[in-house]
Amino acid sequence: MPNAVAAPGGMLLSPKDHTLIMIDFQSQMSFATKSIDAVNLRNNAALVARAAAGFGVSTILTTVAEKSFSGPMFSEITDAFPGEKLLDRTSMNTWEDEAVIARVNEIGKGRIVLSGLWTGVCIVGPALSAIEQGFEVYVIADACGDVSDEAHERAMQRMIQAGARPMTSLQYLLELQRDWARTATYDMTTGIAKTYGGAYGLGIIYAKTMFGASEGH
């Protein structure tokens, strides 16, 4: 029988062990997205962006044909990273873009977390490519979307079969915090959850307002 130890598993994410790549969260791409409604998509993208910015996660923001076709990246994302350069591409597969790959190599982390539009094209491409090159890949499933439920689900299955690890936007935030006794990021984490965490966020607001509850005690 193995001996249990009070320590996190190695497959859990921490703020300093991965690069987040947010891909093609742009107006034109969102118009045809049907697997998730635009309100939830923007909310989840904002949650991921605020979590990454707050925890100091190495983050790459990339667009496709921003000026000529697809339009600007969601302000919910760019507002979280003021001054961050957007890497605009012509390739549908982010992993084929030299500027993006140069940035990945400059950051130098072996784990990649992906989110963006569309799941079956712009997420599958870099996920499968990165896995083949030896990277560990995580995909934030509810911060991705595609032209249909079928397209999104088949893409997620394809990536999982190749070794990608699926997660959700709220899971991403809470995995970065992971311990309510970490007081330095407690207020930030609960603040993000209150704004973007849906019913969970409402529960935090209620508990703190009604009886001053705190998860750390």
Domain of 148: which CATH number? 3.40.50.850
Count structural domains, the chain.
2
Give yes or no: residues 120 and 208 share one domain.
Answer: no
Give yes or no: residues 144 and 188 share one domain.
Answer: no
- pLDDT above 90: residue 68: no
pLDDT tens digits for 174-217? 999 999 999 999 999 999 999 999 999 888 888 888 877 676 65
Q: Mean pLDDT, to the nearest integer, of 26-55?
A: 96
Give yes or no: residues 115 and 214 share one domain.
Answer: no
Tell me which residue range forms the domain holding 211.
180-217
Measured distance CA(209)–CA(213) in Å, rounded = 8
Closest among 153, 79, 165 to 127, alpha carbons compared: 165
Measured distance CA(175)–CA(171) in Å, rounded = 6
170 located within any domain = yes
Measured distance CA(146)–CA(188) in Å, rounded = 31
Give yes or no: residues 94 and 201 share one domain.
Answer: no
Give yes or no: residues 174 and 185 share one domain.
Answer: no
Give yes or no: residues 137 and 38 share one domain.
Answer: yes
Give yes or no: residues 135 and 73 share one domain.
Answer: yes
What is the band of 67 on the pLDDT scale with cuts at 50, 70, 90?
Answer: confident
pLDDT of residue 216: 61
* Least confident among 39-43, 65-69, 201-205: 65-69
pLDDT of residue 69: 79
189 located within any domain = yes
Amino acid, res. 20: L
135 located within any domain = yes
Distances in Å between the Cα of 31 and the Cα atoms of 158, 166, 183 are 24, 24, 40
What is the band of 70 on the pLDDT scale with cuts at 50, 70, 90?
Answer: confident
Would you call 171 exposed, middle or buried from its count of C-beta atoms within 10 A (0-12, 13-18, 19+)? Answer: middle
Using a pLDDT cut of 90, give the percent of the chain over it. Answer: 88
pLDDT tens digits for 127-168? 999 999 999 999 999 999 999 999 999 999 999 999 999 999
- Asked whether the beta carbons of 31 and 123 are under 8 A apart, the reply is no
pLDDT of residue 212: 73
Measured distance CA(52)–CA(161) in Å, rounded = 27
pLDDT tens digits for 86-116? 999 999 999 999 999 999 999 999 999 999 9
Would you call 50 exposed, middle or buried from its count of C-beta atoms within 10 A (0-12, 13-18, 19+)? Answer: buried
Using a pLDDT cut of 70, give the percent of the chain over it. Answer: 98
99 located within any domain = yes
What is the average pLDDT value for the chain, to the nearest integer?
95
Closest among 169, 101, 175 to 135, alpha carbons compared: 101
